[in-house]
Chains A and B, each alone.
Chain A
């Protein structure tokens, strides 16, 4: 058998195996990782305001660690979530990590269950990071930089809608509130992360230079660390950008909407992973993908019933 024949045979076998596998499996989905928007201000937060950056690295751990543990325990084991997983998260945050963690190593099972949702998170988190970098950097035209990075984000098929969604309606599915009712401490810890993520924008923007920015975030970090030590279980809804950084939300309403929608999606997925109404992993995956595709991705804007068409009302829950 000559080598050209061998080569042809190999190609045929590989192609056939792939085709059969693809046809046989409904879970075939692309990875679609995209690099972050490349700019001179990349990693400005990490390099210039490491104290805040390390807290965000801890936040990355928290979400993934929660999802993995909810999935593996069936959302039923209160000590496993409220004590073990939550304390693992606090321990990781206490290490003041200089780099964001590898989330696929934290939540290998969840990543296999709902990669499409995770990629949606990853791209929105990259947008979050980019906006911090821009605000902290010495970029002279921050508005233009933010427009550019928002445009880059919105080119992605994984972009979350920049329209304001009805978060209260998104919190009324049959399984909604399952997570916060069963795991109030970890839920309040998650909401504390979201507090930190949106509360710093106005303080960072108002401060004229790096020294002032460093000082400006200190009280927010103190409050945040207080929340980690004593989770604010009295809160009735997640923190919203317009509530905690009204100037940022007024100036960049699309960003504020994306971040609030992102945080709402986090809450929805926590509920889905907790609820017995969706008892199997297949059902949980199907519901996560239904929510993402129908209510959260920008590609659904034309038909999304959760988009709020009226003017926003200022909400105060915290």
Chain B
């Protein structure tokens, strides 16, 4: 409960006065759940995103992550991203994400969805070892598909991460797969909310453990022309003993 209060206070502190719009139907990772659609933000748009994510683990202390991010529609169908997640309890982290790592990413969307083809995109990411206990440059390649069936959109993400310098029992590489759906709520009288749900599995951070496998559900709400709020919840039902019992995210995106 205390963690949730901290998250809400942090969100309010991050929220700017209503001004501008990332489209609430354009889905980016962690806003609010760990999936994305195949579309980049429009060329020329700048987005500032911030979120707070808590991970109430079955073993170990609850971990809170602050997720500041800047995204920019740098070229046609291409967005670049700069992110630097900050974790509580940073010394206990294992795997690719370390507190304070500088995360750089590029998403390239190949095509829009047509009657015969899904939308397709590829994401390339690198984590520079600027964070605590971080060594080596970690990289990730993800393929993304989006296909709609009426108003329901289905998204598939499949990626592989490589650790530049794995430590101890850390896996040198791990795959991740997500299947998700999104649906705009309110048709035909309101178009301000998108519901998102996903199921995912990813190889554990340490060797010899079961995949972290879970579900997440979230909502994105267009508050003003430029501001989108998001919130999500999730749980991992399979995985290592310290897997998430409850995941929660609140965030805000401002486009201008």
Contacts and interface: CB of A to CB of B under 8 A. Distances in A.
Interface of A: 3, 6-7, 10-11, 14, 18, 21-22, 25, 27-35, 38, 42-43, 46, 61, 65, 88, 91-92, 95, 97, 99, 101-102, 104-106, 108-109, 111-113, 115, 281, 285
24 contacts: A10-B160, A11-B141, A14-B141, A21-B117, A27-B114, A28-B110, A29-B111, A31-B39, A33-B39, A33-B40, A33-B43, A33-B77, A35-B44, A35-B73, A43-B20, A95-B190, A99-B225, A101-B191, A102-B23, A105-B25, A109-B115, A112-B148, A113-B114, A115-B112
A95 B186 CA distance: 12
Q: Which of A3, A11, A34, A91 has the most CB of B within 10 A?
A: A3
B222 interface: yes
Contacts of A113: 114-115
B225 A46 contact: yes
Nearest to B141: A10
A95 to B, nearest CB: 5
Contacts of A31: 39-40, 77, 109, 111-112, 119
A115 B189 CA distance: 24
Contacts, number: 119
B188 A88 contact: yes
Interface residues of B, number: 47
A8 to B, nearest CB: 11
B120 interface: yes
Interface of B: 20, 23-25, 39-45, 73, 76-77, 109-117, 119-120, 122, 141, 143, 148, 150-151, 160, 162, 172-173, 184, 187-192, 222, 224-226, 256
A277 to B, nearest CB: 20
Given A10-B141, A101-B191, 19 more contacts: A7-B141, A10-B160, A18-B110, A25-B117, A27-B116, A28-B114, A29-B114, A35-B41, A38-B44, A43-B226, A46-B225, A99-B225, A102-B24, A105-B25, A108-B150, A109-B115, A109-B150, A111-B113, A112-B148
Contacts of B119: 31
A92 B117 contact: no
